[in-house]
Amino acid sequence: MNHDLVSIIVPTYNRAYCLPRTIDSVLAQTYTHFEILIIDDGSTDNTRELVAGMAARDGRIRYLFQPNAGVSAARNCGLRAARGAYIALLDSDDVWKPWKLEVQLACLTFLPEAGMIWTNMEAVDPEGRVTNPNYLRTMYDAYLWFTTEELFPVSYSLGQILPGREDLASAKLYIGDIFSPMLVGNLVHTSTTLIRRQRLEQVKNGFDETLRLAGEDHDFHFRVCREGPVALLDVSSIQYQVGMPDRLSRHKLMVATNYLQTVTTRLRQDGDRIRLPRSLVNRVLARAENWVGSELWYAGEARKARGHLAASLRRRPCQPRTAGLLLLCCLPRWASQGLLRLYHRLKPRAVRFIPAVEPPPG
């Protein structure tokens, strides 16, 4: 293992159209001692030839191919091949700012107890315009359930750590144990992370390859946070693409199911370590069951939806909308399907019958 090498893991699948911009943002880093592992998850476009050309120009680029198995398997392939003391994760359509690695490494040196650091991010539209300069708390609604001080009781000004970076001097660096709050939802954006190898070695089995298409990042970062303190640098170090067709819109049921699996698995395995009020835990579980149940109903699976909606009501009885949907699920199939067809016709003009994500307490 190289003690100051950063291994950057970039899974990709048919992203030749945007991959060069992502890799160029890594090659432009002010910290230059890194390797880039591009894991091609069975692409059928010209990704192989594209990466071969990039690797011929820069020996820090390594290409690994695997038959299509999903992003979790691709990241695990990269983790096994990585040689660095630090691991950075980067999706193949995100773009780093040039100072990202340099500043994050300085923060981890300043906070030796922190096993991982991540940052805020800019949202950019398809034309490259910044639509939200601090998008982290918009994308991840779990931040709405806690104040920053509740999540991170200790903070520092980045000016204390890097006095020469006047442009970032006012940025805040936070550290804390967020294992319990991660039960509510993910707080970490994968493409902004830098993780110590020692912390990764404590996390068993890397990314869960059964969580395909969505949810694997929450589960993985949840387990990283299980092993000790982590740090948030509250300044945007990447540009994140928004405004494109929602890649997860076709998989809403899977997103909901994977969220339920993540929280129930963690409670089953580490329930004695979750330091949240029982009322809040019940609210999280009720929300998860309600989310799965509502997506099942939208998918025309009323019978399956009933069990999840009933479980949600057992956790939190006072949910009129959930109770109403449960009653609809008990109607004869022809009536339920008729209402479902009516819902889809009216959906562009209607407010969604049941929100997928319940608003936070307070």
Same domain, 89 and 214: yes
Same domain, 210 and 303: no
Query: What's the pLDDT score for residue 347?
Result: 61
Q: How far is CA 165 from the centre of its chain?
A: 29
The total number of structural domains in the chain stands at 2
Task: Residue 83: give its domain's CATH number.
Answer: 3.90.550.10
Termini Cα distance of the chain: 48
Give CA–CA dist 67/205, Å, rounded.
20
Same domain, 192 and 307: no
Tell me if 166 is assigned to some domain.
yes
Same domain, 221 and 305: no
Query: What's the pLDDT score for residue 300?
Result: 84
Same domain, 214 and 309: no
Residues 252-306: tens digit of each pLDDT: 899 999 999 999 999 999 999 999 999 999 999 999 999 999 999 888 898 999 9
Residues 212-245: tens digit of each pLDDT: 767 789 999 999 999 999 999 999 999 998 876 5
Same domain, 42 and 158: yes
In terms of residue numbers, what domain contains 119? 2-241
Mean pLDDT of the chain: 91
Tell me if 141 is assigned to some domain.
yes
Same domain, 168 and 55: yes
